[in-house]
């Protein structure tokens, strides 16, 4: 059985979409894959409750308890590796990862980003797209590299930017596409691995 570990920091809506998709598409039977753990750097992350309700192992590792980013990432790697992951997914995990962490999971670390990369890497993507006068925005599933939001693109979805959009209304429309393309991209990645 191939194990997926998902990292979250908040509501975990992309994680929940992934778990639901895996259940509906019978990944355990068809892809010999399961979501084996959800790890958060915040104890109050609501997504942990969803994961627990699904019988998925959860771990909380507070980044504030560590003296450095490197120390936190080393402890995080130890927690992730206990689940022997085939794939590690970032799903609203609001931490910039060290090069050592990224190298450790090279080729099997994926992220969903709320913009059409390479445009608008980093934060505040929706407001930046509106401010730039973009007519389209969207989401990108990509491989994680040590350069923030610049890895190989695996999937993208496009939504229009409407004249009366705010960052919140655009974010909500993009999020529905994130929930669709992230599980599809993960399933395609798993099938490509044989």
Domains and CATH numbers, the chain: 2-192 (3.40.50.170)
Eight-class DSSP state of 65: G
Percent residues over pLDDT 90 in the chain: 96
pLDDT at 194: 72
* Closest C-alpha among 47, 55, 157 to residue 93: 47
Mean predicted confidence (pLDDT) in 82-97: 96
| 113 in catalytic set | yes
Cα dist from 6 to 37, 57, 118, 141, 143, whole Å: 6, 11, 23, 14, 14
Tokens of residue 62, six digits:
């507070």
Residues 6+ apart with CB under 8 A from 8: 14, 15, 38, 39, 40, 45, 47, 48, 91, 92, 93
Mean predicted confidence (pLDDT) in 92-119: 95
* Candidate list 113, 126, 142, 179, residue with the active-site label: 113
- Burial of residue 150 (CB within 10 Å: 0-12, 13-18, 19+) is middle
Mean predicted confidence (pLDDT) in 32-59: 98
Q: Is 90 exceeded by the pLDDT of residue 149?
A: no
Residue 75 CA to residue 82 CA, distance in Å, equals: 11
Cis ω for the linkage preceding 118 (within 30 of 0)? yes
């Amino acid at each position: 059985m191939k194990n997926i570990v998902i990292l979250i920091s908040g509501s975990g809506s992309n994680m929940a979409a992934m778990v639901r998709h895996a259940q509906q598409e019978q990944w355990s039977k068809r892809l010999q894959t399961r979501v084996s753990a959800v790890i958060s750097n915040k104890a109050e992350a609501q997504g942990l409750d969803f994961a627990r309700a699904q019988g998925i192992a959860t771990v909380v590792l507070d980044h504030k308890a560590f003296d450095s980013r490197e120390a936190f990432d080393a402890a995080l790697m130890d927690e992730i590796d206990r689940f022997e992951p085939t794939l590690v997914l970032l799903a609203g995990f609001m931490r910039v990862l060290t090069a050592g962490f990224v190298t450790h999971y090279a080729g099997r670390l994926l992220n969903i980003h709320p913009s059409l990369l390479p445009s608008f890497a980093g934060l505040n993507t929706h407001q930046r797209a509106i401010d730039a006068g973009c007519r389209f925005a969207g989401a990108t599933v990509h491989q994680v590299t040590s350069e923030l939001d610049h890895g190989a693109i695996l999937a993208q979805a496009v939504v229009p930017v409407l004249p009366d959009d705010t960052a919140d209304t655009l974010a909500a429309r993009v999020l529905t596409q994130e929930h669709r393309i992230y599980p599809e991209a993960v399933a395609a990645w798993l099938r490509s691995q044989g």
